[in-house]
A and B are shown apart, each in its own frame.
Chain A
Amino acid sequence: MPRPEDVSFEQFVTARRAALLRTAYLLAGHPDDAEDLLQVALAKAYPRWRRIADRPEPYVRRIMARESVDRWRARRWRETLVAAPVEPQTADETDVHDRRLELAVALQALSPRQRAVVVLRYFDDLTERETAHLLGISVGTVKSHARDALTRLRDVVRLEEAPPPTV
């Protein structure tokens, strides 16, 4: 008979896998890496499950964000693996395909920490303070990373100006 914390753990994973995987995909840049990143984050959260069971998602996201930076730092950016989106069938799909490819390449060109800041700030809509806490860096560093990353992204991606998430 499974233990209560195992049941709770698996329920959480089942419910939040898709959302977490989207973030993981943006951080890792490849579906296989994203799945592995998510599994590593969940495995590392598992031993602390009793303590975090009430609110596990921030902890899992924190591990995921830091793990993505660490593993890319370890790879020293030698690998620039970008999963090409599925080949388009229609003209509309072609547009979407091109946009995705353009952004994927632009994200991969960022440093691991810049990419993590962009994903947490502009996809997960975290505040600068929350982003800084998750990555274990200062708010000032988050600001400078976000500014530099946006500048580089705008060089290759046309973006609509949107108000940044509340600090």
Chain B
Amino acid sequence: MQTLHERLAELAELSEQRPDPGTAAAAAARGRAYRRRRLVGTAATLTASAAALALIVGISLSRSAGDVEPAPAGAPTGMPRELYEPSPWLPGTADEPLGTLAAIIPAERATWTGREDGLVGVSATSGAYRFLDLPGAVPQSLDDAAISPDGRRVAYWTTGDTRLSADSSTGPVTGVAVYDSDTGAVVRHDIATDHGLQPEGLIWSDAATLLIGYGQQVTGDGGPMEEQGMSTSGPWLSWRVGQDGPAISALTPGADVEDATSGRILVSDHPRYVVTDGEQSSRRVFRIRKDLSVSPVVDASGLQVAVVSGESQEPGYTGSNPNKVLVGRLPVRGQGAARELVMRELPGSENTFDVVAWADDEHVVLLQAADESSWNSPDLVVVDVRTGEERVLLRSAERRTNFLSDHYATDLFSRAPIAAPEPPHPWDPRVSTGLAAAVLLAGAVTLIVWRRRAPA
């Protein structure tokens, strides 16, 4: 009996029965051809991968192209002629503030891990769009952020610690901050609170004075269900930004502040309206006959008001807009009994959604559609209240009623517009990175498999 080795050797002897067909020369020739094929295949795979990567990078760069850099300080400021839907992948301001802003636009901001509420600033000098990096901001309250009339400051609600259990559904909101768009500096003011604040309003009464209205949440997350979301009225604070901290204003706690401009504050006290100042040193009281669903807007002198009035003509909507604009003059001395204003219709003001602000004593800025077919894309127009003559100030404005002025630097309404290109719409970097990784992986796998399996 033989061992397995002996049996295998005996079988293997059969391989010696044939003469050598020239194995050495044939194998060398085959090896040379094999090496050539490997080189060509490798080069082809690398070239294809490089071309695919170049295509991805090219598309990615072209989508990001057209970004406008912030203009140098001192450049002329104005409103852009058109506002665009911002891309969620726009860059942030980080350490490079935009300078004076023309507008702020609440928008979704995308990150590698998800999306969150953000606030886009539009430069009043270059028209550049950037997400404002606002430290401590409460994302769900960014809609309530307010830009100062000169476009240099943005006020927003901040979050922080509460003394007791927090009402997390609202942030919790624990203070307010002001972002300086020229320097990027942020001044914060925390407000002591047990469960969090209920934001009532951030209203600039002039370029440096911020009115802060808020209530106190009654309970936090662990409180009784029936008390969830309830709040008590708080005082209105007046903050002279850059000087002292906020101080309690003379306004009644919980007062319904409708508008403010040049130090004049319009307070609603249904059915009356009161035009006053932060100290309540002067008061003009008036009534408007119509039942209004939007706020009147006073001019800088506090003597004129404009408001959209009437029944809405838009199907499915209640309220007074879109409709005509009424303009009225307040009594010079109006303290005491509320006078009903004599209002006149502004010619050609049909399809107006709201009055944004007074540009000066003779011009009012309206959010207005050209006709019924463009109700969903209204423009900002400047109208001469004496003649009704109008010109378009800004196309594709945000359709929103009440407190429109807090999203536009209203001082710029009277200046010449600036040229501002459409902002870039960068590609989702996860897509481009994923595609690039997939190309590299596919190239590597193809190369490895092909080099391993390539027939010799």
| A residues at B contact (CB < 8 Å) | 6, 9-10, 13-14, 17-18, 21-26, 31, 34-35, 38-40, 42-47, 49, 83, 85-86, 96, 99-100, 103-104, 107, 118-119, 122-123, 125, 150, 153, 157-162
Q: List 21 A-B contacts (CB under 8 A).
A: A9-B27, A10-B25, A10-B28, A18-B16, A23-B12, A26-B8, A26-B11, A40-B456, A43-B31, A43-B33, A44-B31, A44-B34, A46-B32, A46-B34, A47-B35, A118-B4, A123-B9, A150-B4, A153-B4, A158-B1, A160-B1
The distance from the CB of A110 to the nearest CB of chain B, in whole angstroms, is: 12
Q: Which residues of A contact B8 (CB under 8 A)?
A: 26, 103, 118-119, 122-123
User: Within the complex, which residue of B3, B12, B25, B26 is in contact with A25, where a contact is CB–CB below 8 Å?
Assistant: B12
- What 0/1 pattern do residues 26 to 47 of B give for CB contact below 8 A with A? 1110111111001000000000
Determine the residue in chain A with the shortest Cβ distance to B7. A103
Knowing that A21-B23, A40-B30, A43-B30 touch, tell me 19 more A-B residue pairs with CB under 8 angstroms.
A9-B31, A18-B15, A22-B13, A22-B15, A25-B11, A26-B8, A31-B18, A39-B27, A40-B456, A42-B31, A43-B456, A44-B34, A46-B28, A83-B14, A96-B10, A100-B11, A100-B14, A103-B11, A159-B3
Contact B2 A123 (CB under 8 A): no
The main secondary structure of chain B at its interface with chain A is helix
Q: Which residues of A contact B34 (CB under 8 A)?
A: 43-44, 46-47
The distance from the CB of A50 to the nearest CB of chain B, in whole angstroms, is: 11
The distance from the CB of A59 to the nearest CB of chain B, in whole angstroms, is: 13
Given contacts A6-B28, A9-B28, contact A39 B23 (CB under 8 A): yes
5 nearest interchain CB pairs? A46-B31, A42-B27, A25-B15, A13-B24, A43-B30
User: Within the complex, which residue of B15, B20, B23 is in contact with A31, where a contact is CB–CB below 8 Å?
Assistant: B15
**Chain A CB within 8 A of B5 CB:** yes
Q: Which residues of A contact B316 (CB under 8 A)?
A: none
Determine the residue in chain A with the shortest Cβ distance to B32. A46
Instruction: Report the Cα distance A153→B13, complex, angstroms.
Output: 20
Please count the residue pairs between chain A and chain B whose beta carbons lie under 8 angstroms apart in the complex. 124
Instruction: Report the Cα distance A153→B11, complex, angstroms.
Output: 14
Determine the residue in chain A with the shortest Cβ distance to B3. A162
Contact A44 B456 (CB under 8 A): yes
**Chain A CB within 8 A of B373 CB:** no
Determine the residue in chain B with the shortest Cβ distance to A17. B23
Contact B15 A13 (CB under 8 A): no
Instruction: Report the Cα distance A99→B14, complex, angstroms.
Output: 12
Q: Which residues of B contact A43 (CB under 8 A)?
A: 27, 30-31, 33-34, 456
Q: Which residues of B contact A157 (CB under 8 A)?
A: 7
The distance from the CB of A69 to the nearest CB of chain B, in whole angstroms, is: 13
Given contacts A13-B23, A46-B32, contact A122 B15 (CB under 8 A): no
User: Within the complex, which residue of A24, A103, A153 is in contact with B15, where a contact is CB–CB below 8 Å?
Assistant: A24
Given contacts A10-B24, A122-B5, contact A47 B15 (CB under 8 A): no
Instruction: Report the Cα distance A14→B26, complex, angstroms.
Output: 12
**Chain A CB within 8 A of B17 CB:** yes
Determine the residue in chain A with the shortest Cβ distance to B25. A10
